[in-house]
Amino acid sequence: MKHDDEDAVNIKGKGNEPIDAFFNALATVGITGYKFVDYFEHAISIGSDAKAVSYIHLISPNGKQLFGVGISHNINYASIRGILCAINRSINDND
């Protein structure tokens, strides 16, 4: 992950499931205050190499509703990409 237009950094976090662990990992680099509201996921192709899409709903530290979408062959990665999409949209909107 890249943070503040610098070199890529590795982050680690623990949690009771992958999304919780990812939010805890984000906190280690100062990305905090986002509230996870809901998500929906489903397959977008068929077969053993099917891709999944995850739609993420967050609330920003300022209370703004945020939405992101992530796609991957791994549903956990799709969710993480959706979270990053929502957070990046928030940052780009100067929220």
Report the pLDDT value the prediction gives residue 77, as an integer from 0 to 100: 95
Is the residue at 70 inside a domain? yes
**CATH code, domain carrying 65:** 3.30.160.270
Look at the alpha carbons of 66, 67, 71, 76 in this order and tell me if their dihedral is positive or negative: positive
Write out pLDDT tens, residues 28-85.
Answer: 999 999 999 999 999 999 988 899 999 999 999 999 999 999 999 999 999 999 999 9
Q: Is residue 4 part of a domain?
A: no
Which domain range does residue 65 map to? 36-92
Cβ neighbours of 54 (radius 10 Å): 24
Domain count, the chain: 1
Tell whether 6 is covered by a domain.
no
Cβ(23)–Cβ(43) below 8 Å:
no
pTM for the structure as a whole: 0.87
